[in-house]
Structure 1
Amino acid sequence: MEQKLKNRFLNDPSDCEQLLAWWKWLDDNRGDRARLRRVESPDDVLLTGAFSRFLSEMPEKWSESRQLSSSALVAAIVAQVRTNNEVSSFAVQLATPKDGGDKPRMSELRFQQLQKSHDPAEFFRRLLRAVRMLDGNVNILSLANDVLHWMNEYRKGVDRNPKNRLTFCWANDYYLTLLKKQSKAENKGGNTP
């Protein structure tokens, strides 16, 4: 799968497999899923039994002190996903219109607001809105990688190379998707007499 190769922060195959297995486990444990879906902030996740289960299912590095906030955010956001759609990246999905529509699922303004989130709580709220706009039909591995990427930049600062920054990666995926759609629309319009 192409997306796995692009994941810079979620790049260990066993992490990917275990994350997807935990997400599937939530189908049979709806109480845990409901608890995670009701949390109001990433810190609230830390206080749930569902998160303890998440940590027990994931590789040990996810339980390290410096990783706990990132792990909590991943668990809370992934619990919101209803269907794992591996076709395209999270940012491409935000730019892709709903069936038969013209407008992207997430408007450019909201997309820019998501990119400019100042802290994990704001990022969490905006991500929740994004997942809901996608009706819970999201690429889990892309989403989790992007959460880990954002948290890494939040803690350590952005990479000196702009191409390695999450905002650039997202903007590139999002706006290229919009350009492709616009180009298709223009080609269809140009072919009519």
Structure 2
Amino acid sequence: MNQYPYLVHDDQKALEHWHQWLDDNRGDRARLRRAEGPEDILLTDAFFHFLEKMPDTGLWRDEILISASVAGALSHVKTHKLNASQIYKTKNIDNTAKNASFAEQLATPSEGKGKAPMSELRFQQLQKSKTIDDFYRRILRAIRLLDGNVNILSLANDIIHWHREFEHAFDRNPNKRLVVRWATDYFTALANLKS
């Protein structure tokens, strides 16, 4: 089962390459970081460089605010941090360990620190974001709280998932909703920290 259901393999590889590409193109990174919201990102040449790097699929070209949100958020990430999940230690069908999700990372302290990077209150505020701009600002705050060390694939997948739920009806099955998955990952990781 794909850990990132909204991202096919080509999307994942393109996001990783584009994030590395930003290190050599600091001007584009700076322009994306200065944007206050996804609509501002649409007006930058850096965003069109992002679209050039992404696979030619409907996801990136047709859902332009999603693309802008992903491009902007990833410009704030310093390191693509893939670490094994502590809450999903079992191996999945294709015999690979699951990586820590963005929500799990928000509850897992960095080395030498004893508390979660994001407090429960801020986490709940992130979950309850009411507008695209509000969600974007809170995502950027979460990235800063993680010192820019984020699983970019999980982050991008979650941004896509949030936008789909925002623009369309929620799934009737609560287990398929982003806020439920986030809460499960965050509070399970938090409980592991306290035990």
Fold shared, TM-score > 0.5 on shorter chain: yes
SS of match in other structure, 2:6:
coil
What TM-score comes out, normalization by structure 2 length? 0.88
Q: How big is each residue's C-alpha offset from its partner over 1:131-158, in whole Å with a ceiling of 9 and x where there is no partner?
A: 0000000000000000000000001121
Aligned identity (percent) is 52
Residue 40 (structure 1) aligned with residue 36 (structure 2): yes
Q: Extract unaligned runs of 5+ from structure 1.
A: 184-193
Structure 2 counterpart of 1:51, from 47, 50, 56: 47
Question: What CA distance in whole angstroms lies between the structure 1 residues aligned with 2:60 and 2:162?
Answer: 18
User: Residue 48 of structure 1 aligns to which amino acid in structure 2?
Assistant: T
Structure 1 counterpart of 2:127, from 90, 99, 115: 115
For these two proteins, the number of residue pairs brought into alignment is 178
Q: What is the Cα-based RMSD across aligned positions, in Å?
A: 1.2
Structure 1 counterpart of 2:2, from 1, 5, 8: 5
What TM-score comes out, normalization by structure 1 length? 0.89
Aligned counterpart, 2:10: 14
Q: Extract unaligned runs of 5+ from structure 2.
A: 84-99
Q: How big is each residue's C-alpha offset from its partner over 1:52-86, in whole Å with a ceiling of 9 and x where there is no partner?
A: 01111112224433x10100000000111000001
CA contact (8 A) 2:60 2:66 kept: no
Aligned counterpart, 2:115: 103
Question: What CA distance in whole angstroms lies between the structure 1 residues aligned with 2:182 and 2:9?
Answer: 23
CA contact (8 A) 1:19 1:58 kept: yes
CA contact (8 A) 1:81 1:138 kept: yes
Q: Give the CA deviation at 1:166.
A: 0.3
Q: Give the CA deviation at 1:9.
A: 1.1
Structure 1 counterpart of 2:162, from 150, 162, 171: 150
Question: What CA distance in whole angstroms lies between the structure 2 residues aligned with 1:170 and 1:107?
Answer: 14
Aligned counterpart, 1:140: 152
Question: What CA distance in whole angstroms lies between the structure 2 residues aligned with 1:161 and 1:63?
Answer: 27
| More off after superposition, 98-107 vs 73-82 | 98-107
Structure (1 or 2) with the greater helix fraction: 1
Greater C-alpha radius of gyration:
1
Aligned counterpart, 1:129: 141
SS of match in other structure, 1:5:
coil
Consecutive aligned runs of 4 or more in structure 1 exceeding 4 Å deviation: none
User: Residue 135 of structure 2 aligns to which amino acid in structure 1?
Assistant: F
SS of match in other structure, 2:110:
coil
Aligned counterpart, 2:91: none
CA contact (8 A) 1:55 1:62 kept: no
Aligned counterpart, 2:181: 169
Q: Give the CA deviation at 1:174.
A: 0.3
Question: What CA distance in whole angstroms lies between the structure 2 residues aligned with 1:129 and 1:9?
Answer: 23
SS of match in other structure, 1:6:
coil
CA contact (8 A) 2:22 2:75 kept: yes
Question: What CA distance in whole angstroms lies between the structure 1 residues aligned with 2:172 and 2:153?
Answer: 25
